[in-house]
């Protein structure tokens, strides 16, 4: 094979790094619904969010501008790992004996090993610019906490991370990363907050959840004007920052003389999926490109495939505004799968609207299938994917095998959102044969959603 005509890796020159993020809201046929105040059920305005976020991020949250400039300082930091490579998965294609062309964008090259620093650096920048001294946040598997630790110390800001208790003990190296980057990390629920104390009183052995940790971080932030809160997914401004992934990928696909028929991303709160797919969705919406765009979630936390589109809290306790989203109910406790970053009860407002309008589709994958895909990927392409990312790999393999069955030359692009070097404990369990699938019954989901009816939350 001529390496010149068929490069394995497509590197974008540094000077080609995007200067703007892409805001899909400008091009959406139906705009996302506004968040509501939980008491009044009236739309929340920028002022309601001011205790939590710096004004520039709030403006991005509600913006309808198509392109938003990436500050020079943020681009300068991005240069440490961006542009990230686009890689043709020749070895995986061979192993699957598929006519499909498989490309992946690799975000594991960042300092924290995932796509999350793309928004962490931007959020730290805007907070610092508005004089914020301290940030609070939550983290599940620790990817977001480590990304934000890296970013806040670059700007000499303090960071307090509420880490979901099961992960705190399961993933001690994530905590070490956060400590290297100077963050103060505590296992949530804690007795530092009202929200944490309430949970501990009910269940002293609570393993914690992302929703509980969010409640704790928000509670600390609202008490101090110099402290703000940062979220690693779900919100519009977070998705916006991640579009640097897809904007680069678009240029790189062009360099490879290719265009995707299918774009795939794994789905927790939607940020890496949005990052890879939104710039391509612009073509689908505006040029009516015949393209499938697939969000992949775990079967054990199936908000997109089996949830309901309606208003719900973003957290467990009910500190956040009501967000219009596909949700399993804010009190849904997902089983303890290893893809911790995908254990979130809802989706973002933009992605939910796109799904409702049939512009994107969603699939669910069981844990065993995802690990099997991750191991095949590691044995062929050499990179050990994060357990979250293996869901995108699994769906890519499904599509590649379908292409083989149909004898169809399909071009697939997926986002490899991170590497799994800090998640080897999970792979060890898989190799030992002690990983199991979890299912959620329709009754469990209905039970959780009934609570939202009782609380009078409107359907979207
Ligand atoms: C956090 C995380 C995810 C899930 O979050 P999204 O906001 O849906 O992208 C996926 N992959 C990796 C590697 C992560 O760290």
Q: What is the pLDDT of residue 1?
A: 57
| Chain segment 254-287, per-residue pLDDT in tens | 999 999 999 999 999 999 999 999 999 999 999 9
Q: What is the pLDDT of residue 339?
A: 81
Lowest-pLDDT range of 123-132, 201-210, 221-230? 201-210
Q: What is the pLDDT of residue 2?
A: 60
Centre of ligand 1 to C-alpha 419, Å, is: 11
23: Cβ contacts below 8 Å, ≥ 6 apart:
60, 63, 64, 65, 66, 67, 68, 240, 243
Q: What is the pLDDT of residue 133?
A: 97
| Chain segment 122-158, per-residue pLDDT in tens | 999 999 999 999 999 999 889 999 999 999 999 999 9
Helix, strand, or coil here: 419? strand
Lowest-pLDDT range of 171-180, 329-338, 424-433, 438-447? 329-338
Q: pTM of the predicted model, to two decimals?
A: 0.96
Domain boundaries, the chain: 9-20+85-113+237-454, 21-67+116-236
Identify the band that residue 320 occupies on the pLDDT scale cut at 50, 70 and 90. confident
Ligand 1, pocket-test mutation among 112, 161, 270, 272, most atoms within 8 A of CB: 272
Centre of ligand 1 to C-alpha 96, Å, is: 26
- Does the CB atom of residue 266 touch ligand 1 within 6 A? yes
> Would you say the CATH fold of 21-67+116-236 matches that of 9-20+85-113+237-454?
yes
- Does the CB atom of residue 341 touch ligand 1 within 6 A? yes
Q: Which atom of ligand 1 is nearest to the CA of 238?
A: 7
Helix, strand, or coil here: 52? coil
| Chain segment 418-446, per-residue pLDDT in tens | 999 999 999 999 999 999 999 899 999 99
Q: Which fold has domain 9-20+85-113+237-454?
A: Rossmann fold (3.40.50)
CATH code of 21-67+116-236, in short, is: 3.40.50.1100
Q: Which atom of ligand 1 is nearest to the CA of 116?
A: 15
Q: What is the pLDDT of residue 288?
A: 86
Contact 134, 61 (CB under 8 A): no
Lowest-pLDDT range of 326-335, 345-354, 365-374? 326-335
Centre of ligand 1 to C-alpha 417, Å, is: 7
- In this prediction, residues 174-178 reach a mean pLDDT of 95
- Does the CB atom of residue 272 touch ligand 1 within 6 A? yes
Nearest to 377, CA basis, from 134, 4, 102? 102
Q: Which atom of ligand 1 is nearest to the CA of 114?
A: 13
- In this prediction, residues 347-356 reach a mean pLDDT of 96
Centre of ligand 1 to C-alpha 169, Å, is: 20
Helix, strand, or coil here: 86? strand
- Does the CB atom of residue 370 touch ligand 1 within 6 A? no
Lowest-pLDDT range of 139-143, 163-167, 224-228, 339-343? 339-343
Contact 136, 229 (CB under 8 A): yes
Report the mean per-residue pLDDT for the chain. 95
């Amino acid at each position: 094979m001529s390496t010149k005509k068929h490069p394995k890796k497509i590197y974008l020159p540094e000077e080609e790094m995007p200067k703007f993020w892409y805001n899909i809201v400008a091009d959406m046929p139906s705009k996302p619904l506004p968040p509501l105040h939980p008491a009044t059920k009236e739309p929340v305005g920028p002022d309601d969010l001011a205790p939590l976020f710096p004004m520039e991020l709030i403006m991005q949250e509600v913006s309808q501008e198509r392109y938003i400039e990436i500050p020079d300082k943020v681009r300068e930091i991005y240069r440490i790992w961006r542009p990230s490579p686009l890689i043709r998965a020749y070895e995986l294609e061979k192993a699957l004996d598929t006519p499909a062309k498989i490309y992946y964008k690799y975000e594991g090259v960042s300092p924290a090993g995932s796509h999350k620093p793309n928004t962490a650096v931007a959020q730290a920048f805007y907070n610092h610019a508005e004089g914020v001294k301290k940030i609070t946040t939550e983290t599940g598997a620790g990817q977001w906490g480590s990304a934000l630790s890296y970013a806040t110390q670059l700007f000499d800001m303090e960071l307090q991370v509420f880490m979901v208790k099961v992960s705190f003990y399961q993933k001690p190296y994530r905590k070490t990363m956060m400590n290297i980057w100077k963050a103060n990390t505590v296992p949530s629920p804690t007795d530092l907050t009202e929200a944490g104390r309430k949970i501990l009183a009910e269940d002293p052995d609570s393993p914690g959840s992302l929703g509980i940790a969010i409640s704790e971080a928000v509670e600390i932030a609202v008490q101090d004007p110099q402290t703000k809160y940062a979220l690693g997914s779900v919100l519009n401004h977070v998705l916006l920052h991640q579009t640097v992934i897809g904007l680069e990928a678009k240029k790189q696909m062009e360099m490879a003389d290719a265009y995707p028929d299918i774009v795939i991303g794994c789905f927790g709160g939607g940020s890496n999926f949005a990052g890879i797919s939104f710039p391509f969705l612009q073509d689908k919406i505006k040029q009516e490109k015949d393209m499938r765009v697939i969000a992949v979630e775990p079967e054990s936390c199936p908000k997109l495939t089996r949830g309901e589109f309606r208003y719900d809290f973003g957290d467990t306790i009910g500190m956040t505004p009501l967000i219009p989203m596909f949700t399993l109910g804010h009190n849904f406790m997902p089983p303890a799968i290893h893809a911790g970053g995908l254990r979130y009860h809802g989706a973002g407002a933009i992605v939910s609207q796109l799904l409702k309008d049939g512009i994107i589709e969603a699939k669910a994958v069981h844990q065993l299938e995802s690990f099997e895909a991750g191991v095949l990927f590691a044995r062929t392409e050499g990179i050990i994917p994060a357990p979250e990312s293996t869901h995108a790999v699994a769906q890519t393999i499904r599509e590649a095998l379908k292409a083989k069955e149909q004898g169809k030359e399909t071009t697939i692009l997926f986002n490899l959102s991170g590497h799994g070097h800090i998640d080897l404990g999970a792979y060890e369990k898989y190799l030992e044969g002690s990983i199991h699938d979890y299912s959620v019954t329709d009754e469990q989901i209905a039970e959780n959603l009934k609570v939202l009816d009782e609380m009078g939350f409107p359907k979207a």
